[in-house]
């Protein structure tokens, strides 16, 4: 008797399961405008994707309880056309134990409002997306279950590298040769998916209206949509049509919802395959090799999407030098916390504009007030910025050393001075601009070798030069002498001061010093002598002149 009752209960459950399945088939057939067999195919694929019985999937679709017990109601009322069938986020986030669901907290995804038929298709695609185990599977299901019914012929997912280049992460409906050819799109190539990522908005090309994307085949259509995480775009989803394809508003909302659903699964699969670390892995090495201080900044936005600050993603070795900070300790901190003065001198505003509009920005060296150990200090600094992928690469350089060189050049000019040095070990030599002027020598010819120095001295002054150089080279004592140099067919009186450079063993390894053009001083002395002589003559004439009575 118990066996018969169990068989009857089993038959009753089977009949009720069949009833739920048939109702789901009927609803899908009406909603998707397809036959009953095709509707059952959708149920079967969802069952396979979710590893659930067909009856359970059918129950979710029509919003009924899963037919597993004897207390199942005899009939299930079909939902109204505008009723919410089930939450796609159930599939998006998965159950406990579902791959990827436990790896990150559920993220709110606000799906667009859609008609019932389109919403069912989005829900069907959501289940397929969440069950994808590889990036290739994700692209295939986005095409087959997501946009295949719209006639899309291929789907691609692109990631943006920090230099603005695009890398193909996954594709479906694309031949292996084409996929191989399009693994990488350089930053200089204008592509709609790059604009979708950088502008954070879809780019719709219907194949009829003109556009500036030379990469697109003439007459082809594409829908490029940003994939977002934390409110920021990090990748792009592209659907392609070989011919023209319009985008009604409902279809645009549907494809945008599809991109929302795909973004989370893509991030999980990309991390699980190590893709997150791949883009731009070379960039830190390049920035560290640059002879300027650099930051790679990630925008930080408020609830309205406005940039309120930047997070330092990378700091080059020179980035903390002028402010006496450790670059490694700056990574992860907010820009205005470590460089508050940028908020008041227009630099932060420029960074924000570059992050939004792109392009490049430069500001020449200008004085700015910075805080060093809590004390205000004025420095000459130049700044530049360029958008790099989603972030902003900024660089700056202190011109304090250049300012010192400018001051030194002014001293040379005012004092008619020049600096010179010779390395006796390597035969290298250095002259300042003032030295070249005094010797009437082009800087393109380089400094005079020490052994040729005597050739430019007036012969009558060579004994003085040889005597003083002997003191310098043999006794290692500094010398200060006046000699005449050959110049412009005549001669030029100069003062030459030289100092020895000794090594640890007190051996002579170099010379340095200064040379001063004494022509101006000589003219002034001559003028002074003439003035004094004229005054003396006037005094003498005054003393011997007869006085009138």
The DSSP-derived string for 407-461 is HHHHHHHHHTEEEEEEETTT--EEE-HHHHHHTT--GGG-PPPGGGGGGGB-GGG
pLDDT per position as a tens digit, 143-182: 998 999 999 999 999 998 766 778 899 999 998 888 888 8
Q: Quick check: 42 pLDDT over 80?
A: no
Residue 40 pLDDT > 50: yes
Q: How many CB atoms lie within 10 A of CB 374?
A: 5
Higher pLDDT, 66 or 262: 262
Q: Assign 3-class secondary structure to 360-418.
A: EEEEEEEEEEEEECCEEEEEEEEEEEEEECCEEEEEEEECHHHHHHHHHHHHHHHHCEE
> Confidence class of residue 82 from pLDDT cuts 50, 70 and 90?
very low
Structure tokens at 489: 């067919």
Q: Which fold has domain 283-397?
A: Beta-Lactamase (3.30.450)
Residue 25's pLDDT band, with cuts at 50, 70 and 90, is: confident
**Could you give the maximum distance between any two Cα atoms of the chain, in Å?**
172
pLDDT band at 243 (very low <50, low <70, confident <90, very high): very high
- Dist. CA 317–CA 298, nearest whole Å: 19
Most confident of 108-117, 283-292, 335-344: 335-344
In tens, the pLDDT along 398-425 reads 876 656 667 777 888 888 899 999 999 9
Higher-confidence residue of 5 and 161: namely: 161
Tell me: pLDDT of 11 over 70.
Answer: no
Instruction: Give residue 79's pLDDT.
Output: 35
Q: pLDDT digit string (tens) for 453-479?
A: 889 999 999 999 999 989 998 999 999
- 3: confidence class by pLDDT, cuts 50, 70, 90: low
Burial 136-165 (b: 16+ CB within 10 A, else e): ebbbbbbbbbbbbeeebbbbbbbbbbbbbb
CATH classification code of 101-280? 3.30.450.40
Tell me, what's the pLDDT at 498?
A: 93
Enter the tokens of residue 230: 């934390």
Instruction: Tell me which DSSP letter residue 212 carries.
Output: S
Confidence at 362, pLDDT banded by 50, 70, 90 = very high
The mean pLDDT value for 287-307 works out to 85
Domain ranges of the chain: 1-86, 101-280, 283-397, 403-524
User: Which range, of 111-115, 122-126, 200-204, 438-442, averages the lowest pLDDT?
Assistant: 111-115
For the chain, give the mean pLDDT: 78
pLDDT for residue 165: 79
Equal CATH topology for 101-280 and 403-524: yes
CATH number attached to the domain at 403-524? 3.30.450.20
pTM: 0.43
């Amino acid at each position: 008797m118990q066996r018969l009752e169990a068989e009857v209960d089993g038959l009753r459950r089977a009949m009720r399961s069949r009833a739920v399945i048939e109702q789901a088939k009927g609803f899908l057939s009406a909603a998707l405008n397809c036959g009953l067999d095709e509707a059952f195919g959708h149920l079967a694929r969802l069952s396979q994707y979710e590893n659930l019985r067909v009856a359970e999937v059918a129950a979710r679709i029509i919003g009924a309880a899963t037919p597993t017990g004897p207390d199942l109601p005899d009939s299930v009322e079909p939902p109204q056309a505008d009723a919410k069938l089930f939450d796609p986020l159930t599939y998006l986030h998965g159950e406990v134990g579902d791959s990827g669901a436990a790896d990150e907290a559920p993220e709110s995804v606000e799906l667009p409002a859609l008609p019932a038929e389109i919403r069912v298709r989005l829900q069907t695609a959501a289940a397929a997306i969440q069950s994808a185990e590889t990036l290739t599977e994700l692209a295939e299901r986005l095409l087959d279950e997501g946009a295949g019914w719209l006639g899309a012929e291929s789907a691609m997912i692109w990631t943006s590298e920090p230099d603005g280049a695009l890398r193909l992460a996954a594709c479906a409906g694309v031949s292996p040769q084409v996929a191989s050819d399009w693994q990488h799109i350089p930053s200089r190539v204008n592509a709609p998916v790059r604009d979708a990522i950088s502008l954070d908005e879809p780019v719709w090309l219907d194949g009829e209206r003109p556009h500036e994307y030379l990469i697109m085949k003439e007459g082809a259509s594409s829908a490029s949509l940003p994939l977002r995480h934390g409110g920021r775009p990090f990748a792009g989803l592209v659907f392609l049509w070989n011919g023209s394809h319009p985008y009604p508003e409902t279809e645009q909302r549907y494809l945008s919802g599809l991109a929302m659903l795909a973004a989370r699964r893509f991030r999980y699969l990309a991390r699980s395959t190590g893709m997150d670390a791949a883009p731009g892995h070379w960039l830190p090495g390049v920035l560290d090799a640059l002879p300027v201080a650099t930051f790679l900044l990630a925008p930080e936005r408020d609830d309205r999407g406005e940039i309120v600050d930047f997070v330092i993603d990378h700091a080059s070795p020179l980035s903390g030098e002028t402010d006496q900070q450790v670059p490694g300790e700056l990574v992860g901190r907010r820009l205005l916390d470590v460089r508050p003065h940028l908020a008041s001198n227009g630099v932060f505003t420029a960074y924000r504009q570059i992050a939004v509009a792109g392009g490049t920005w430069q500001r020449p060296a200008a004085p700015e007030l910075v805080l060093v150990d809590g004390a205000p200090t004025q420095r000459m600094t130049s700044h530049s910025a360029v958008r790099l992928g989603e972030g902003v690469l900024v660089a700056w350089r202190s011109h304090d050393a250049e300012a010192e060189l400018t001051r030194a050049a002014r001293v040379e000019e005012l004092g008619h001075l020049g600096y010179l040095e010779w390395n006796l070990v390597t035969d290298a030599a250095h002259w300042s601009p003032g030295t070249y002027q005094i010797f009437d020598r082009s800087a393109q010819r380089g400094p005079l070798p020490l052994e040729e120095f005597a050739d430019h001295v007036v012969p009558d002054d060579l004994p003085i030069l040889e005597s003083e150089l002997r003191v310098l080279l043999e006794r290692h004592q500094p010398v200060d002498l006046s000699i005449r140099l050959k110049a412009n067919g005549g001669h030029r009186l100069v003062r030459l001061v030289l100092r020895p450079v000794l090594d640890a063993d007190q051996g002579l390894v170099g010379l340095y010093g200064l040379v001063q053009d004494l022509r101006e001083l000589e003219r002034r002395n001559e003028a002074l002598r003439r003035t004094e002589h004229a005054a003396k003559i006037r005094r003498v004439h005054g003393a011997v002149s007869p006085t009138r009575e």
